[in-house]
Amino acid sequence: MKILLADDDAALRKVIQFKLRQRGYDVTATADGEEALSVLRHGRYDLLLSDMKMPKLNGLDLLKQARKVQPDIKVILMTAYAAIPQAVEAVKLGAFDYLTKPFDNDQLFVTIEKAVKFKQLENENKLLKEQLSGVGPAKQMVGVSPSFKQLLSLIEKVAPTDATILITGESGTGKELVARTLHRQSNRKESEFVAVNCAAIPRELLESELFGHVRGAFTGAVKDKKGKFELADGGTLFLDEISELSIELQAKLLRAIQERVIEPVGSERRIEIDVRLLAATNVNLRDRVASGGFREDLFYRLNVIPLQVPPLRERREDIAPLVRTFLERFAPGTPISVPANLMTVLKEHSWPGNIRELENLMERMTILRKSDELTFADLPADFRMTEKQEPANRATGRSEHVSLYENEIQLIIEALEKFGWNRTKAAAYLRVPRHILIYRMKKFGIYHDKEI
């Protein structure tokens, strides 16, 4: 807990600072309001403990300015008895509480501990809300590449509107995260974000899932049920893998978009809805339209603003920050390092599974790592053997489009695994002196518990 103390009484300031530090608080002391405001502009603080009457900038003005600089900071004002009405007014303006001088240690500690607990509760509630919405710190969009920055710029422009958006991109690129980011930056952010994976629900149940049903509408419909459209009323509805909708259901979806009304299955009651629709697909809907598998009118209704999410192989600059983000998520508080040569291999990988593949790899390596520095030995043996990789050379079984650097690493690992990590036998197999093999292993960071 970081506390900023502002009081022009040097003796009292030193006493309060000493007492709070004894209780384990990180305290920065300033002599007036202007100095305190300058400190606030250059660092984050959880609590401001300020005298009401100070030169240059009094406590009330400091309160107003502090809450502009750091809106979530808690402010406790210290005031003389005669200024209590002014302190009450300060509470109305956003101060957490006030202390009347002179106060004893217990009053000081109790008031601060109340503010601390309140701050902690606020942080926990904020984190819980972010986790429930799927856009907390662990689910933020991460990247530095030009294509990623361009995507973020488009999101910022279209998020505040109610325009329907079609998000396209390969599997694993983070289309749902884009949708959640659009919702979080929209005017509907305080309302529900409802996600539906159209491919994960049996086609015969998808209409009921989207529009709801009434009791008796079909076998098993024992009570009325609200659909996703109704649950998302006032908020955002995200339809993932929209290409999997049947032609019949596409017609009903088009009507819901155009007329802003739905009819639950088995009911003739029309329900008005106010929903912002986002859709996503990993297939080319124009090709589906051409082949008759997707309605052209629905396509144009969905494709008001298209957002293309680039694959990871086209934004390799983002791999390093993504790796750091995942390591922090899977091993919070543990500084795990990735040597440069291993990071180079990660950057050169084709990533057919995109960000989802990288996330899964980092989770696996974090759990099974042998130390807090990842090495090539932590990589799974089948790391490069993916279904969507470039066709392998029949003679070698290896991909034709990988670097010499990457192939050399793979050859060494394969040889070591072939002979149970016996370096002498592996060196003979590779037709190099043993000391050369050991040198290359050290260079590439290749280690294993079974090394001989």
- CATH of residue 212: 3.40.50.300
The count of domains in the chain is 3
Has residue 449 been placed in a domain?
A: no
Give residue-wise pLDDT tens across range 375-425. Answer: 888 888 767 444 334 444 434 444 444 555 567 788 888 888 888 888 889
Confidence class for position 39, pLDDT limits 50, 70, 90 = confident
Q: Which of 96-100, 117-121, 266-270, 284-288 comes out lowest in average pLDDT? A: 117-121
Give the DSSP H or E segment for 30. strand 26-30
What integer pLDDT is reported at residue 296 of this predicted model? 95
Q: Supply the range of the domain harboring residue 374.
A: 314-444
If you average pLDDT over residues 367-371, what whole number do you get?
A: 88
**161 lies in the same domain as 264:** yes
The answer to whether residues 372 and 335 touch, using CB atoms and an 8 Å cutoff, is yes
Has residue 282 been placed in a domain?
A: yes
Confidence class for position 326, pLDDT limits 50, 70, 90 = very high
pLDDT value at 366 more than 70: yes
If you average pLDDT over residues 242-248, what whole number do you get?
A: 92
In the three-class reduction of DSSP (H, G, I as helix; E, B as strand; rest coil), residue 279 is classed as strand
Identify the residue with better confidence: 99 or 137.
Answer: 99
pLDDT value at 250 more than 90: yes
Residue in 147, 152, 141 with CA at minimum distance from that of residue 177: 141
pLDDT value at 449 more than 60: no
Confidence class for position 215, pLDDT limits 50, 70, 90 = confident
81 φ/ψ angles, rounded to the nearest 5 degrees:
-55, -40
Q: Token pair for residue 259? A: 């007329």
Has residue 326 been placed in a domain?
A: yes
In the three-class reduction of DSSP (H, G, I as helix; E, B as strand; rest coil), residue 270 is classed as coil
Confidence class for position 65, pLDDT limits 50, 70, 90 = confident
Give long-range contacts, CB 8 A cutoff, 24+ apart: 324-327.
325/138, 325/140, 325/142, 326/358, 326/359, 326/362, 326/363, 326/366, 327/362, 327/366
Has residue 452 been placed in a domain?
A: no
Highest mean pLDDT among 72-86, 205-219, 235-249: 235-249
**144 lies in the same domain as 127:** no
Residue in 307, 304, 306 with CA at minimum distance from that of residue 162: 304
Confidence class for position 447, pLDDT limits 50, 70, 90 = low
Question: Across-strand partners of 446?
Answer: none
How far apart are the C-alpha atoms of 8 and 24, rounded to whole Å? Answer: 23
Give the domain CATH number at 431: 1.10.8.60
In the three-class reduction of DSSP (H, G, I as helix; E, B as strand; rest coil), residue 4 is classed as strand
The whole-model pTM stands at 0.59
SS3 track for 190-250: CCCEEEEECCCCCHHHHHHHHHCECCCCCCCCCCCECCHHHHCCCCEEEEECHHHCCHHHH
pLDDT value at 195 more than 90: yes
Residue in 144, 145, 153 with CA at minimum distance from that of residue 307: 153
Of 274, 308, 342, the residue at which a domain comes to its end is 308
**168 lies in the same domain as 227:** yes
- Return the half-sphere exposure (C-beta side, CA atoms, 13 A cut-off) of residue 143: 24
**121 lies in the same domain as 37:** yes
Confidence class for position 42, pLDDT limits 50, 70, 90 = confident
What integer pLDDT is reported at residue 159 of this predicted model? 93
Highest mean pLDDT among 120-134, 189-203, 228-242: 228-242
Distances (CA, A) of 321 to 44, 143, 146, 243, 327: 24, 7, 14, 32, 10
The answer to whether residues 34 and 61 touch, using CB atoms and an 8 Å cutoff, is no
Tokens 């603003």 appear where?
A: 305
Terminal-residue alpha carbon distance, the chain: 50
If you average pLDDT over residues 329-336, what whole number do you get?
A: 88
Of 308, 326, 357, the residue at which a domain comes to its end is 308
Confidence class for position 451, pLDDT limits 50, 70, 90 = very low
Q: Which of 27-31, 324-328, 349-353, 441-445 comes out lowest in average pLDDT? A: 441-445
- DSSP assigned state of 362: H
What integer pLDDT is reported at residue 450 of this predicted model? 45
Highest mean pLDDT among 30-44, 296-310, 361-375: 296-310
Confidence class for position 129, pLDDT limits 50, 70, 90 = low
Confidence class for position 132, pLDDT limits 50, 70, 90 = low
If you average pLDDT over residues 104-114, what whole number do you get?
A: 90
- DSSP assigned state of 391: P
Residue in 200, 265, 445, 449 with CA at minimum distance from that of residue 340: 445
Please count the other Cβ atoms lying within 10 Å of the Cβ belonging to residue 149.
12
**164 lies in the same domain as 79:** no
Has residue 61 been placed in a domain?
A: yes
Of 114, 132, 150, the residue at which a domain comes to its end is 132
What integer pLDDT is reported at residue 289 of this predicted model? 94
> Considering all CA atoms of the chain, what is the largest pairwise distance in Å, rounded to the nearest integer?
92
